[in-house]
Amino acid sequence: MQFKKIMWGLIFILLGVILGTNALGLTNIEIFFDGWWTLFIIIPSFIGLFKRKDFTSSIIGLLIGLILLLSVRGIIDFEIIGILIIPTIFIIIGLSIIFNNIIKDKVTEKFKTTNKDGLEMITATFAEQKVNKDNEKFSGANLDAVFGSIILDLTKATIDKEAVIKASSIFASIKIIVPNDVDIKIKSTPIFGGVSNKISNKKDNKKTIYIESFCLFGGLDIK
């Protein structure tokens, strides 16, 4: 987040310098060139490349922005873009899913040793599910939301040491509310979606919740 703010700050400073030196007659830099509006796609997507959780969406956004800019400038034929843009996006999404699954990390290793068949299944399809685990022992769950929403409240749940959650959000939203004494380890694959983790991990926390998420035009909120 800090890096993103710095990048936007530098961009606005650069714009201010260009406008100021143009006004003083020191430079004659044309800002509003043909296709200048594509920068509103290119710049945020470029900044997003430095955030691992938004990498796929950023790549797609950057690709679309650059293609539109080149077509407006007459460098490439727009008809060819129309034919190839959709297949290219699907290829990028597919590669992202495959390589994200190959990458080894603590969450991946934890899910390999977990009996997924033993996870509680919570689904919401064109519906809303609110699940409260007050005074219940919780070791894990499989959350699957499609055109719906799931709210899982673990605030007063009993977690021995570790718990695992597999969350899939497709055109949907999932919210997980966790206790104050847990750390969160998350691996996410967001495609035109996002994950918001508001939990600050603390060294003295002895409990960990491992979360593996997939968000397609959906979102996961951890708080």
**Distance from the first to the final alpha carbon of the chain:** 17
| CA dist., res. 68 & res. 58, Å (int) | 15
Query: Is residue 193 within 8 Å of residue 145, measured between CB atoms?
Result: no
DSSP state of 202: -
Per-residue confidence (pLDDT) for residue 108, from 0 to 100: 61
The ranges assigned to domains in the chain are 2-102, 106-222
- Report the phi/psi class of residue 118: left, alpha or beta, with left for phi > 0 and alpha for psi in -120 to 50: alpha
Question: pLDDT tens digits, residue range 49-62?
Answer: 766 556 667 777 78
Question: pLDDT tens digits, residue range 119-169?
Answer: 889 999 999 999 999 989 998 899 999 999 999 999 999 888 888 898 999
